[in-house]
Amino acid sequence: MPEHTPAPTPSRSVYGFVLYLSSYSALSVYLVWAFVPDNILHSIGLTYWPQKYWAVAIPIHLCVALALFAFLIYPSINLIMTPPLHDVRTITDAHAININGKNVPPSGIPPVSDIPISEESWRLNLEEVTPHLHKGRVEKDLGKTTLSSPDGDSNLYFPILGSLAQHDEQVS
């Protein structure tokens, strides 16, 4: 059985050349039909042509069909083929590459791998809830930006305002 390859073969060359010639021939016939007046076509002996309306209507119908496919049908097919959110296939599959148990050099770049959803969720929640564990930066009262730490964060001043009037007093 021959191996499938995109390399040119003699039969593909012939098919490509025939497609090239036929597409340019069809374009030429369409342009003659669309732009040459009917009386000139009739004088040549070409009398059975569709109305000129169709020279405009057919491309418009094709563009509408393409837009309908691109913006409605194609996304709908993709949504139908997507597994539901509670399915395990949305988290991992048979081709996932786990890094568990592999040695990663401390100063090197780790190999390409999939991050488990539990670890990624933990990282995201950790950055939102406790930025000081990731050496985040916190803006203090004087406008200085300093490194955040558990003991340094305790002296931050966050007033709790009970009403809009208290807010206006605090701002002014």
**Given this model, what pLDDT does residue 116 score?**
76
Three-state DSSP class for 146? strand
**Given this model, what pLDDT does residue 133 score?**
52
CB 140 within 8 A of CB 146: yes
**Given this model, what pLDDT does residue 8 score?**
79
**Nearest 5 degrees, angle CA 64-CA 35-CA 57?**
20
pTM: 0.48
Whole-number Cα distances in Å, 59 to 55, 67, 109: 7, 12, 53
Cβ-based neighbour number of residue 148 at 10 Å: 19
Residue 161 DSSP symbol = P
Q: pLDDT (tens digit, 0 to 9) for every residue of the chain, 172 residues total? A: 567 777 878 888 999 999 999 999 999 999 999 999 999 999 999 998 899 999 999 999 999 999 999 999 999 999 999 888 888 888 788 888 877 766 777 787 777 888 777 777 777 776 655 555 545 444 444 555 555 554 444 444 445 545 555 555 555 5
**Given this model, what pLDDT does residue 139 score?**
47
